[in-house]
Amino acid sequence: MRPSLSFRIIQHTTGYLFAILSLYPVFLMVSSSFKTTLEIFKEPLALPKKLSFAAYEKLLDQLPFGTYLWNSVFVSVISVVIILISCSLAAYYIARTSFKWNGALMFIFLLGMMIPIKLGIVPMFLLMRDLNLTNSPWSLIAIYSAMGIPLGVMILSGFFRTLPKELEEAAKIDGCTDMQILRRIILPLMRPALGTVMIINFVTAWNDFFFPLIFIQSELKKTIPVGMMSLFGEYASDWSTLFAGLTLASLPMIVMFIIASRQFMDGMTAGAVK
Amino acid sequence: MADKPKRLQRNRWSIHLFPIPALAIYLLFIIYPICAAFSYSLYDWKGIKKLEFIGFQNFKNLFTLEPFNTMFWNALEHNVIYFVVQMVVQNGIAFLLAYLVFQKIKGSGFLKVAYFLPRLLSVIVVGFLWKLILNPTYGTINVLLDKLGLDSWTMPWLGDPSTALISIILVNSWFGVGLSLLIFLAGLQSIPTEVVEASRLDGVRGFRMIRTIILPLMIQPIIMVTVLTFIQSFEAFELIYAMQGSMGEPYYSTDTMAVFFYRTAFGGSSSDSVAIGLGSALAVVMFAIIAIISAAFLALTRKVNQE
Amino acid sequence: MKRVYSLGTVVLLSTSLVVSGCGSNNKANESSPSNSATPSASSSASNGSGEKVKLTMGSWRTDDKAVYEKVFAEFNKQYPNIEIDFSPTKSTEYNTVLNTALQTGEGPDIIHLRPYAAGIGLGDSGFIEPINGLPGLEVFPADVMAASTGKDGNVYGVPMALNTVGIMYNKKIFKDNNLEVPKTWDELLKVSQSLKDNKIIPFGFGAKDGWILSMTQGAIGPAGYGGNEFVDKLLKGEKKFTDEEYVQSLQLMKDLVPYFPDKFTGIGYEDMRTFFATEQAAMYVLGDFDVGVIQTMNPALELGVFPIPSKVAGASPTVSTYVDGSYAVNAASKHKEEAKKFLEFATSKEFGNLFANEMKRVSPIPGVTATDPVIAQFAELANTASTPYLMVTNFNSGNPTTKVTLENSMQALYLNNMDAKKVAEELQKNVDTWFKP
């Protein structure tokens, strides 16, 4: 009952062709970082003639890359934790209770996805200043958490609905409170959905450059993407350094993803749909 | 057993605290600033200085004043094209690849990682890399076409209005295929295996299997991907900005509503005139368009859920 | 059970904190916009007692970081208590970042102010501190000061650089092909043709980036309308963009198409510079501010510069010039006096020399001499053959600006969607919406 051989050849060819297409630009970025600018320009498709780490040494010497990295990790991790906690609570409420305002509540959350959020930048800036958060990583954490909530609530509440009601009814009879039900019964079953929300928001927070550009002034509080943007100005003509910078900026995310890919992927595939 | 209703009662009040943290953060940092900014559309501005209240004049200008009205419809048209092409290319390929991975071909674990990897890159990096690949002189695509003897097919991809927008949408599809794929894959995995096995025993396979068995069971993930793609297409900004700047170059051929909004509200890079009132009016209009159409999509989802 | 309550309390507490934060925010919004501490303000209140003051300088010149460190070191010899922190933003995002900061009463103490209409607009709206009568300003000629002088005569900034755009050329390529620097437009075309015949790209040029188009037209255009006489009439309203002189200036740009690289509509600024710096292209129409970069990219390149020969009979060759921004003081700064000290320093000859030689730019300060021969040549041309880069000096207003209208229409010109006449009509249509002679 297995598909025919020719069909399977087509399947594999298509699958791997698209994988090459997906990976090629990343490969180009890494391989170009070892070339000289002239090599990139004159022989764009060739492999680097020799592995030179000069560009990397130069960058690590000049940029506080470790600081950028730490700031990015700090901001992304805290935002994701806030999103996970607050969204689980809210999604549990929306999905597992039947108050008449639940529909409206859900809609209010969804509105956040439909607004060009940059519009609010000036009021946001004023707000951050009055909360004394400008030039602080907490301004980024606040905004990334708030930005991640709509999608988080949407995905988690969709997923909460798929769980059988009997589970918590039994728990209630045993005297569990709502918080205990959520923590001990629902959340452990929800790991995949939480994984989905986690990766999406982690990537968003990690790669954003607009808000740090506006909110953060001191060099030592910048995140990786902003630090990287100044590279474009400084090394516009020095492509090997630029490529090394881009590789350095992208690498932590790629490494983290590959290490955790099994967990992430299972989380995503099991959790993305109600 | 006698105290059970009482106990449930007592549990009940605390549950109203559950949505509060999410709601508070979200209302404070998103809804409040946005509402404050919506009011900008009702004022006259001189550069970045707010002058007097002028009612709906900015909205009127957006739809009647040259060149803004032309720009608006031009941009809106590009958003629609963006959505249609993304649906067909990004989500079509995502579905195909999801089905492929679902069938557990050799190395499907690696393939999943590969397909999702672009999504991890910053849009700035994506824009920069594809700008190089699409470069007319030393970009991979033209060099490759040249080596294959197809030099008549080489193009200034991003410099020609007939190819610029489509190139960007395809790059966006490259970037976004992983997420759609995972949502589809989740949907495929939630289809009961008995249904697939039973129809397979009935001799259904290949594309007929997809059409008659799989697709009908995939309506929910398809709607979810559609809504996400819609919102994302109608807010398309970062990639265009990274690759073509805030003017939607060349000659507004890659302009979208969000790029137009950014240019008018912030002045962009080359234009030094800022029209915050008009830009805010445009953002309100964008919001209305997206909200109305999304609400329709969601109503459709609810209907499907109930059936 | 206990745990649940305590968790509930935490949630409640944290939300009430957030909500009360919101309340206080509204109040603060209504009061003065600059009552909270700027990063620079926190260090000290006054300079009188010899306390250190820390200023920030905002800029779009991300690549000048090292040079400014030298400049500040020199400045600190005179003012040891004023520490300046150079904090640039990428050029394309600079306006967004600065405008947002200014709107909220924040922003750097010293601002790199965009030249002419763009920066003056900020000044006229009250975001920039007027510096009328600042010691040292008198060294600048009036046309240079025009870049930072408001409608009501207020001066907002100390001119920073005098950008000069001419045709840079590769001396070696010219020599190898027995070519002379052209003296007339027709000679320029002949030179281009023979370069092309010898399989060398005549112009390192691309039309993908809009600002390159207006800048190149700013330099080449005068060859078509004959320089300053037309400019004067245009500004007085006696001539229009639709007049044949200006149409011809647009047509000249179109006439050069055969001498541009293949598929030039997809080529951007960095690519065209690379063409020239790697000696694949013989000529490059750009400003003195690119000399340093080109020399770093290819130190062996024999660089020369010549003014654009005119097509109009009897008109002399020109380079186009404009002031590239100025140093200004943020009206919301806590340390305006200290910031003004730096502005004063920026009018001095020693600053001019640092600027010209470290940054390799043409300084607007009279009497400053550049040691780099190419920069010196640019400076010489700026003194003898200059015509204004109109789209920046006079036509960077309107919405969209006339400059942007030119850039977009010229893309259409190169894509064969418009002819020179139509481009001129688009320009005039835009100019009519705001320009009063």
Report domain extents, chain A.
Answer: 66-269
Counting as contact any 3 or more CB pairs under 8 A, the partners of A are: B, C
User: How far is residue A92's CA from residue B100's CA, in Å, rounded to a whole number?
Assistant: 34
Along chain C (437 residues), what's the average pLDDT of each consecutive run of 10 residues? 43 40 36 39 44 91 87 93 91 87 91 90 90 92 91 92 95 95 95 96 94 94 91 93 94 95 92 92 94 90 95 91 94 94 94 90 90 93 92 88 92 93 94 88
Give the pLDDT confidence score for residue B197 in this predicted structure: 82
What confidence tens digit (pLDDT) does each residue in A86-141 have? 999 999 999 888 888 888 888 889 888 888 888 888 899 999 989 999 889 999 99
The predicted model gives A28-42 an average pLDDT of 84
Partner residue facing A178 (CB), from B14, B34, B298: B14
Instruction: Please indicate whether residue C44 or residue B47 has the higher confidence score (pLDDT).
Output: B47
Counting as contact any 3 or more CB pairs under 8 A, the partners of B are: A, C
Give the residue carrying structure tokens 């006489």: C229
Question: CB–CB of B138 and A41 under 8 A?
Answer: yes
Question: CB–CB of A237 and C277 under 8 A?
Answer: yes
Contacting residues of B for C12, CB less than 8 Å apart: 17, 20
Question: CB–CB of C271 and B135 under 8 A?
Answer: yes
The predicted model gives A212-223 an average pLDDT of 88
Contacting residues of B for A254, CB less than 8 Å apart: 117, 120
The predicted model gives A185-197 an average pLDDT of 76
Contacting residues of A for B26, CB less than 8 Å apart: 109, 112, 146, 149-150
For residue C39, the Cα-to-chain-centroid distance in whole angstroms is: 27
Give the pLDDT confidence score for residue A75 in this predicted structure: 96
Partner residue facing B14 (CB), from A28, A153, A177: A177
Question: CB–CB of A273 and B18 under 8 A?
Answer: no
Question: CB–CB of C399 and B273 under 8 A?
Answer: yes
What confidence tens digit (pLDDT) does each residue in B19-39 have? 999 999 999 999 999 999 899
Contacting residues of B for A109, CB less than 8 Å apart: 22-23, 26
Question: CB–CB of A89 and B22 under 8 A?
Answer: yes
Partner residue facing A237 (CB), from C1, C21, C297: C297
Give the pLDDT confidence score for residue A59 in this predicted structure: 84
CB proximity C20 to A under 8 Å: no
Question: CB–CB of B32 and C22 under 8 A?
Answer: yes
Give the pLDDT confidence score for residue A271 in this predicted structure: 44
Partner residue facing A225 (CB), from B33, B122, B178: B122
Question: CB–CB of C267 and B158 under 8 A?
Answer: no
Q: Which of residues 86-145 of A touch B (CB under 8 A)?
A: 86-87, 89-90, 92-94, 97, 105, 107-124, 127, 142-143, 145
Candidates C100, C293, C359, partner chain A, best to mutate (most A CBs within 10 A): C100
> What pTM does this model have?
0.87
B193 confidence band (pLDDT: 50, 70, 90)? confident
Give the pLDDT confidence score for residue A262 in this predicted structure: 67
A274 confidence band (pLDDT: 50, 70, 90)? very low
Question: Which range is least confidently modeled, A162-171, B72-81, C93-102?
Answer: A162-171
CB pairs < 8 Å spanning A and B: 256
Task: Give the amino acid at B239.
Answer: L
Give the pLDDT confidence score for residue C9 in this predicted structure: 43
Question: CB–CB of C93 and A177 under 8 A?
Answer: no
Task: Tell me: pLDDT of A20 over 50.
Answer: yes
Give the pLDDT confidence score for residue A266 in this predicted structure: 59
Question: CB–CB of C401 and B48 under 8 A?
Answer: no
Give the pLDDT confidence score for residue A3 in this predicted structure: 61
Give the pLDDT confidence score for residue B45 in this predicted structure: 85
DSSP label of A186 = I
B209 confidence band (pLDDT: 50, 70, 90)? confident
The matching CATH number, chosen from 1.10.1760.20, 1.25.40.10, 1.10.3720.10, 1.20.120.330, for A66-269 is 1.10.3720.10
The predicted model gives A214-226 an average pLDDT of 87
Instruction: Please indicate whether residue B138 or residue C79 has the higher confidence score (pLDDT).
Output: C79
A183 confidence band (pLDDT: 50, 70, 90)? confident
CB proximity C273 to A under 8 Å: yes
**Three-state secondary structure readout of chain B:** CCCHHHHHHHHHHHHCCCCHHHHHHHHHHHHHHHHHHHHHHHEEEEECEEEEECCCHHHHHHHHCCCHHHHHHHHHHHHHHHHHHHHHHHHHHHHHHHHHHHCCCCCHHHHHHHHHHHHHCCHHHHHHHHHHHCCCCCCHHHHHHHHCCCHHHCCCCCCCHHHHHHHHHHHHHHHHHHHHHHHHHHHHHHCCHHHHHHHHHCCCCHHHHHHHHHHHHCHHHHHHHHHHHHHHHHCCCHHHHHHHCCCCCCCCCCCCHHHHHHHHHHCCCCCCCCEHHHHHHHHHHHHHHHHHHHHHHHHHHHHHHHC
List % helix, strand, coil for chain A (3-state, nearest 5). 75, 0, 25
Burial string for C245-279 (b: 16+ CB within 10 Å, else e) reads bbbbbbbbbebbeebbbebbbbbbbbbbbbbbbbb
Considering only alpha carbons, which residue of chain C is nearest residue A41? C274
Partner residue facing C36 (CB), from A89, A129, A180: A129
CB proximity A269 to C under 8 Å: no
B272 confidence band (pLDDT: 50, 70, 90)? low
Contacting residues of A for C104, CB less than 8 Å apart: 122, 125-126, 129
Mean pLDDT of chain B: 86
Nearest residue to C255 (alpha-carbon basis) of C293, C216, C291 = C216
Q: Which structure tokens are listed for A76?
A: 């992304």
The predicted model gives A230-238 an average pLDDT of 75
Contacting residues of A for B97, CB less than 8 Å apart: 14-15, 18
Write down the H helix ranges in C321-366. 336-345, 349-358
Question: CB–CB of C397 and B251 under 8 A?
Answer: no
Question: CB–CB of C210 and B245 under 8 A?
Answer: yes
CB proximity C19 to A under 8 Å: no
Beta carbons of A235 and A157 less than 8 angstroms apart = no
Partner residue facing C267 (CB), from B25, B136, B249: B136
Q: Which of residues 168-207 of A touch B (CB under 8 A)?
A: 172-173, 175, 177-179, 182, 196, 200, 203, 206-207
Nearest residue to C134 (alpha-carbon basis) of C333, C366, C341 = C341
User: C132 in helix, strand or coil?
Assistant: coil
Question: CB–CB of A229 and C93 under 8 A?
Answer: yes
Give the pLDDT confidence score for residue C277 in this predicted structure: 93
Partner residue facing A122 (CB), from C8, C103, C297: C103
The predicted model gives B231-245 an average pLDDT of 91
Question: CB–CB of A41 and C278 under 8 A?
Answer: yes
Q: CA–CA distance from A118 to each of A141, A148, B51, B277, C91 (Å)?
A: 16, 15, 21, 14, 19
CB proximity C28 to A under 8 Å: yes
User: How far is residue B147's CA from residue B162's CA, in Å, rounded to a whole number?
Assistant: 24
Instruction: Please indicate whether residue B47 or residue A70 has the higher confidence score (pLDDT).
Output: A70
Task: Give the amino acid at A103.
Answer: G
Number of C-beta neighbours around residue A219 at 10 A: 16
For residue B236, the Cα-to-chain-centroid distance in whole angstroms is: 6
Q: CA–CA distance from C381 to each of B108, C163, C227, C319 (Å)?
A: 65, 11, 14, 7
Beta bridge partners of C149: C155
Domains defined along chain C, listed by start: 53-161+322-386 (3.40.190.10), 164-321+390-433 (3.40.190.10)
Task: Tell me: pLDDT of A267 over 90.
Answer: no
